[in-house]
């Protein structure tokens, strides 16, 4: 495998993430808060331990994010029916609306950029989405000590 090309791919992914995060919200959320909100929205309600594992954050950071999202009325804490000492979090109707506005904004920004590329390039990038999703899942399996 071409190590230099792999390094370039890593760099491009990082730049894309930073640039999309810079345009991310306008809703007062950090990229991590938006990511947690989206995960809870798509998979919730979720327990905090499960959310920590899925999001790849340390428990202290996740706790801060959950507290902020809860204070802003975007998620709510629910008792865990299987363990009354634990909580689960679910997205609120306000959180659902905020997430959808951010998602639409991010999609529009990226779509506008794709429209500026040659059609063959845009089509190639869109064809690669399933492969990039697989790569993202593989990266989740790499222990954090190796990242």
- Which DSSP string corresponds to 45-80? SEEHHHHHHHHT--HHHHHHHHHHHHHTTSEEEEEE
Torsion sign (Cα): 82, 144, 103, 131 = negative
* Domain definitions of the chain by residue range: 3-116
**pTM value?**
0.78
pLDDT at 134 over 70: yes
Tens of pLDDT along 43-84?
Answer: 989 999 889 988 888 889 999 999 999 999 999 999 878 777
Q: Which CATH class is domain 3-116?
A: mainly alpha
């Amino acid at each position: 495998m071409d190590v230099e090309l792999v390094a370039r791919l890593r760099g491009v992914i990082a730049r894309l993430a930073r640039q999309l995060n810079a345009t991310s919200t306008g809703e007062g959320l950090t990229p991590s808060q938006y990511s947690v909100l989206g995960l809870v929205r798509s998979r919730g309600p979720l327990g905090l331990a499960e959310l920590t594992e899925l999001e790849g954050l340390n428990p202290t950071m996740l706790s801060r994010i959950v507290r902020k999202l809860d204070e802003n009325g975007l998620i709510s804490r629910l008792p865990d029916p299987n363990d009354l000492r634990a909580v689960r979090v679910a997205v609120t109707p306000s959180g659902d609306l905020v997430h959808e506005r951010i998602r639409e904004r991010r999609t529009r920004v990226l779509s506008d950029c794709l429209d500026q590329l040659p059609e063959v390039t845009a089509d190639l990038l869109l064809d690669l989405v399933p492969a990039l999703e697989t790569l993202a899942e593989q990266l989740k399996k790499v222990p954090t000590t190796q990242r």
